[in-house]
Structure 1
Amino acid sequence: MELLSTLRSFKFSIFIHIFVSYSCYRPTDSGAVALTQATIDTVLATNELVFINFYAEWCKFSSLLAPIFEEAADKVSAEFPTAGQVVMGKVDCDKENSIATRFHVTKYPTLKVIRNGQPAKREYRGQRSVEAFFNFVKKQLEDPIKEFKELSDLKTLDTKKRIIIGFFDQKDCPEYNTFRRVATNLKDDCQFHVGFGSTVAQMHPPGQPIIVFRPDVALSNERDETFNGSLLSYDEMNVWMTEKCVPLVREITFENAEELTEEGLPFLILFHKPGDDETIKKFKDVVLRDLIHEKQNINFLTADGERFAHPLHHLGKGQDDLPLIAIDSFRHMYLFKDIRNMDVPNKLQQFIQDLYSGKLHREFHHGPDPEDIPALESKVGPPTTPPESTFKKLGPSKNRYTLLRDEL
């Protein structure tokens, strides 16, 4: 009886061990970390990089992405195990609606990057595979700052890039830590270079590091500028560097077209021949002089006319007609009549105003407004159709997202 009792006790102990082990097992410890209203702020504040999948259970695209993102999260976790470096997270937007609202999520799945607690301007729009996610995270964690060993190295920097240069006594100082944090956030917009110690001693007073902005002098007439704020203030430095790194006039490419289109503002575009840097400079000068007050209403862009030959074709133009300026309203495209008048004061401003008033659209259908032609010549011509917008087709793909619940 004693042996039987001992055996039963042993079996019971085994059962308890298995039960406790099973109860403590959390399969969600692997894969992406589920973020909730209670945990998200802590995760964002304690990690350099947080890559978040905003999803909805009912969305078929979310369901397709989920296992891929989970596997990528395991691979990232294995490669970068250091606490505070990177977290791949996920947010169930139906359960955590307040988080989705906070991050302006309007489609599923949306992939957002948070660096040092600040949302990056660009969502992730690359390939959705385990390797692509892993390589993206790996690239994001690379140091964005290149150290130069000789001042002469600064003479060979790319004159078509916007550059921030730091001159510090040493790397181990709070000012450089702030510089590095901001650089991490703006690595897609600027190049960052830094020098230390005796290499840059002649460039700044001892104990007083400085930061200098060097513009893309091959493409603009801007000048170097020194940061005059506090090098210990992340917010001050971030505002200043963002203003310098993200210009009023941007270049549109196939890589950033979706991002620019999603901003929802009409495009005022200079189409130019490759290498026509002087026209680009002139266009930037005119926009800065006459149109800066329109920066909240219009995206000012330059476009390589060879790469974007398709929109030119819709305008009835080709390579021999470059350079030219057009507005894309996301409904239609309208051509600025004569680029030689670009720098005539208020000519481009009037072109934009004619978009707002509907005059551009009206004149495409019915010819010039009566007040613009002599009374005897005022005749309503046959209706015409302005060229259709081509850039709206570069917006978010309907095959890649579910737009809220419109799909149901």
Structure 2
Amino acid sequence: MWFLGPLCSFSLYLCFAAKSSAVIFHAGVENFTSFNTYKVSLVQYYADWCPFSRQLAPIFESASEEFLDHTQKGEVAFIRVDCVFYADLCAEHGIRKYPTVKVQKFGIRVKREYRGARTKEALASFVNEHLADNLTIVNGNGLPAKKAKNNLSETNEQLVFREAISNEVKEITTLKQADFPTVHKWIMDRCVSPVRELTFANAEEIADEGLPFLLLFYDSKSAHLKRRFHDLVKTHLKEERQTVNFLTADGVVFSHPLSHLNKTPKDLPLICIDSLVHMYKHPLPVETILSDPIHLKQFVADLHSQKLHREFHYGPETVQQNVAQPTSSPVASFSSPAHVEKQPPSQTTPTESIFKRLGPSRMRYSMVHDEF
């Protein structure tokens, strides 16, 4: 096997003498950016003490053999990062478990990591998917629309350009600095939805991001509210997308989490927050919540300030209100009416998070700091 990275010259000579067809790069702080020119880089973040990392290592090496020609052309790189030695780098990349396998395209990390089978064939198939051309030109006499749609990736990073069928142009953007990072950011801002649909297929991935969920649970009669929820988040809560995952979910499919809120599908629609510790239901009807962005803004603010957490543990807080401030619309209140004297809190039993159970399994991963 050829080890390319921070190895001594004697070790490097022995590796070349073996004349294996596998090429694994060992990366760290000093050389990680040197792979930014590769079209696809598959990066395994590992720890030697993790048994799952050790099991994946020979499979990862074997998969790299399928792309020797691409590697020699500078198109594909199989990279391993030792998270014990390069702990700061792994923390910077958001590594929370071992092994974590991420993909980079021209140095830009794709948000969705690899969660498939740990086999040579599955890894090779995953890399081939990312190697495929992601630009399709469609004209009136060419590729049918349905076939073009199938070429779109789940990450929304692929674009389909077609010949104009009208002279109408919805938007023209002039970029003063049209380099790759600037264009990439511009595209992602317009292609990535601020609200995702939660399913059992993506629940592990979303829970693994470690961000609280703000969920709209709906049923068939209230599915039309998803568009209003999406528009409100996009327009008024854009700055919160780095701290909260805004999601919609079919409340009939996810009836189990509802039961922990003492709700059933008959109570749909409803909005709640799952902090991955506890669950908090918004007290107002969804129609009222969506009528004014102040309701969701206050709900998120109370999450960040720990007010929701305190009230679920110790009951409603009481505060002194000196001057009543008029508002244009009723604002959700998560505490009892204001008065001067604060009553001693009564401890309550908060609703435990359900979605944290859908996160990565300890049968496949070692969590960071498990060695302690």
Aligned counterpart for 2:308 among listed residues 360, 364, 374? 360
Distance 1:61 1:125 in 2: 13
How far apart are 1:252 and its partner, in Å? 2.5
Aligned counterpart for 2:279 among listed residues 310, 333, 338? 333
SS in 1 for 2:365: coil
Find out whether 1:146 has 2:136 as its counterpart.
Answer: yes
Find out whether 1:84 has 2:71 as its counterpart.
Answer: no
Structure 1 pair 64–153 and aligned structure 2 pair: CA distance change class (3 A): closer
The superposition leaves residues 24-43 of structure 1 with CA deviations (integer Å, 9 ceiling, x where unpaired) of: 8533743341324465443x
Equivalent AA in structure 2 for residue 390 of structure 1: I
Find out whether 1:130 has 2:97 as its counterpart.
Answer: no
RMSD of aligned residue pairs (Cα, Å): 3.8
Q: Which runs of 5+ in 1 are unaligned?
A: 1-21, 164-182, 205-211, 213-223
- Structure 2 equivalent of residue 282 of structure 1: 228
- Structure 1 equivalent of residue 60 of structure 2: 69
Give the conservation status (yes or no) of the 8 Å contact 1:367–1:380. no
Find out whether 1:402 has 2:366 as its counterpart.
Answer: yes
Distance 2:216 2:62 in 1: 43
Equivalent AA in structure 2 for residue 116 of structure 1: F
SS in 2 for 1:26: helix
Structure 1 pair 281–82 and aligned structure 2 pair: CA distance change class (3 A): same
Equivalent positions of 1:120-269 (< 5 A) are 120-150=110-140, 188-195=155-162, 199-200=163-164, 224-229=170-175, 232-269=178-215
Higher CA-based Rg: 1
Structure 1 pair 381–48 and aligned structure 2 pair: CA distance change class (3 A): closer
Equivalent AA in structure 2 for residue 394 of structure 1: L
Query: What percentage of aligned pairs have identical amino acids?
Result: 37
How far apart are 1:343 and its partner, in Å? 2.7
Distance 1:81 1:266 in 2: 39
Give the conservation status (yes or no) of the 8 Å contact 1:144–1:187. no
SS in 2 for 1:254: coil
Equivalent AA in structure 2 for residue 340 of structure 1: E
Equivalent AA in structure 1 for residue 233 of structure 2: V
Equivalent AA in structure 2 for residue 342 of structure 1: I
Give the conservation status (yes or no) of the 8 Å contact 1:257–1:395. yes
Structure 1 pair 226–98 and aligned structure 2 pair: CA distance change class (3 A): same
Equivalent positions of 1:11-26 (< 5 A) are 25-26=16-17
Q: State the aligned residue count.
A: 339
Distance 1:339 1:111 in 2: 39
Q: Which has the higher helix share?
A: 1
The superposition leaves residues 317-348 of structure 1 with CA deviations (integer Å, 9 ceiling, x where unpaired) of: 22222211001111111111222321343222
Distance 2:309 2:88 in 1: 41
How far apart are 1:229 and its partner, in Å? 2.0
Distance 1:367 1:39 in 2: 53
Structure 1 pair 351–34 and aligned structure 2 pair: CA distance change class (3 A): closer
Equivalent AA in structure 2 for residue 400 of structure 1: R
Equivalent AA in structure 2 for residue 61 of structure 1: F
The superposition leaves residues 69-128 of structure 1 with CA deviations (integer Å, 9 ceiling, x where unpaired) of: 1222223437x5771322222233445556545534343222121101211122212221
Structure 1 pair 200–374 and aligned structure 2 pair: CA distance change class (3 A): closer
Give the conservation status (yes or no) of the 8 Å contact 1:268–1:326. yes
- Structure 1 equivalent of residue 7 of structure 2: none
With normalisation by structure 2, the TM-score equals: 0.76
Distance 1:130 1:156 in 2: 32
SS in 2 for 1:283: helix
How far apart are 1:155 and its partner, in Å? 8.1
- Structure 1 equivalent of residue 93 of structure 2: 103
Distance 1:354 1:46 in 2: 44
Equivalent AA in structure 2 for residue 334 of structure 1: Y
Find out whether 1:350 has 2:298 as its counterpart.
Answer: yes
Distance 2:16 2:313 in 1: 69
Structure 1 pair 117–203 and aligned structure 2 pair: CA distance change class (3 A): farther
Structure 1 pair 74–275 and aligned structure 2 pair: CA distance change class (3 A): farther
Give the conservation status (yes or no) of the 8 Å contact 2:49–2:371. no
Equivalent positions of 1:50-69 (< 5 A) are 50-69=41-60
How far apart are 1:305 and its partner, in Å? 2.0
Give the conservation status (yes or no) of the 8 Å contact 2:213–2:275. yes
Distance 1:310 1:270 in 2: 15
Distance 1:306 1:236 in 2: 41
Distance 2:221 2:57 in 1: 44
The superposition leaves residues 241-274 of structure 1 with CA deviations (integer Å, 9 ceiling, x where unpaired) of: 1111223222223333333323332221101125
Distance 1:31 1:334 in 2: 51
- Detail structure 1 runs of 4+ shifted over 6 Å in the superposition: 151-158, 378-382
Structure 1 pair 40–364 and aligned structure 2 pair: CA distance change class (3 A): closer
Give the conservation status (yes or no) of the 8 Å contact 1:48–1:86. yes
